[in-house]
Chain A
Amino acid sequence: MITVNSIFKKFGKLEVLKDFTLNFERGNSYAIMGPNGSGKTTLIKSILGMVLPDKGEILVKGLSIKGSNDYRKYLGYMPQIGRYPQNMKIGQLFSMMKDMRPEIKTYDLDLVEAYELDKIKDKSLGTLSGGTVQKVSAALAFLFNPEILILDEPTAGLDPIAVEILKSKIKNEREAGKLILVTSHILSDLEELTNHAIYIFEGEVFFNDSIESLKEITSEEKFSPAIAKLMQWSLKKKSTTKAMTYA
């Protein structure tokens, strides 16, 4: 459903993505992991069209996204920290988002209802707490029933009840056959929400397989130690390649 075809991206001298290739298939839920600065965010932003790759192409539903904005109607995006115009009211934000996709007439209001956002729709966004802002972001991401969901640290800042509501919503959507990309530092969340692990290290795909095979390869029973092992391996590989180049 999304094909990332050997993209390159440099920020100044820093090469963030190198010949990066990945495929995301419908009905799967991907955990995108990697240390800070590994290129996760750049990857997501490239898919969203916020970062423009230097080389290579990204296809969404078989069509290149270059110079296109229309494909974004298939995407629901929940940013890590949502910041909205201070003086806008929640209700207005929702109607603005709806205005931007006039062709969609039916809305997925599950999260709006679960978070009771209707009751505070006349509140200005500038007055909301961080958690409420996250609820707004989550509700917006699901509002248009998009085929692809991109969730950047979705559970950060939410209270436990809200987290459970969001998680079950994500699981529902996955079962409904949608493509879901999640980044998170909370490994338990990832284990619960995703069936496919992608580990990015220094701009390259270090691991890309189902969570079962991840456990198998690392011969760990549980998700977290498996990831920990993956991280160790990646660091080791780095030092060996370094050693090799020095030799």
Chain B
Amino acid sequence: MLKLLKYALYDILKSRFALIYTVFLALVAISIYQVSDDLSKVSLSLMNIMIMIVPLISAVFATTHFYNNLEFIELMLAQPVKRSQVFLSQLFAVIIMLSLSILIGFGLPMMLWGADSSLITLLAVGIILSAVFTGFAFLASVMTRDKAKAIGISLGLWIYFSLVYDGFVLYFIYSFADYPLEKATLALVMLNPVDLGRILMLMQLDISALMGYTGAFFQKFFSSSMGLLIAGGTLMVWMLFPNFFALRVFRKRDF
């Protein structure tokens, strides 16, 4: 497994995409640092990139990468190695590459110009969302035999989780505005990894507004480490679950 991962990583880290993506993130971060006069404004602007752009790029890149490597994957499958190892080495290579791009592209400017806890959280959220959407992309890839279709599914999932879903939730709370909705809304938010990442950021940036909730549950959820643990834990589940299903499909798939 580690051997396979080593070579897969070597290949992907040398790819032109890895370089372009890192430079792109770095340029974005540098320009945001230049125009913003304080750190929390930086994290606000970077947050939009993390929540929108990073999942999009992760989803599209991971799908393309899978299909570009399909023949190689087939060759690997003809070797005396386990299928799961072939899959996991490809998966981890993609996740590690995407994470390194974020760490370098965003992390270096942060080291140069300073960071606070919200920016550190942001890095973690970016890495987790990369892993989640790589999982979605791999799942879409192993379930279809057509690259265009797989990219379509990945993009669809991205649009769904970053836009459509929130629209539904907004519609839902608007329609049932007369009922106490806090818990339902929180539960709905848990069902969307992008929202979860956003809530983790809200807990850093907008804690004063979140504390306006009635009820001890929310006071506790948002102010203590409990909320952080629950949201973080649920994100972990989101990270594992598409990847796990993709692995299961991969093990039974014909090539």
Contact = CB atoms under 8 A, between A and B. Distances in A.
Interface of A: 11, 45, 48-52, 69-73, 75, 77, 79, 81-88, 92, 96-97, 99-101
Contact of A72 (B3, B10, B72, B79): B79
A50 B11 contact: no
Contacts, number: 74
Given A85-B69, A86-B15, A50 B78 contact: yes
Contact of A79 (B12, B15, B75, B81): B75
Contacts of A82: 71, 75
Contact of A77 (B4, B10, B75, B83): B75
Query: In which size bucket is the chain B interface?
Result: 20 to 34
Contacts of B3: 96, 99-100
9 contacts: A50-B77, A52-B254, A72-B78, A82-B71, A85-B12, A92-B7, A100-B79, A100-B80, A101-B80
B interface, over-half SS: helix
Given A49-B77, A92-B10, 4 more contacts: A11-B254, A69-B83, A79-B71, A83-B70
Interface in B1-39: 3-4, 7-8, 10-12, 14-15
B77 to A, nearest CB: 5
Interface string B80-93: 11110000000000
B74 interface: yes
Given A79-B74, A84-B72, A87-B14, A51 B80 contact: no
Nearest to B145: A11
Nearest to A101: B80
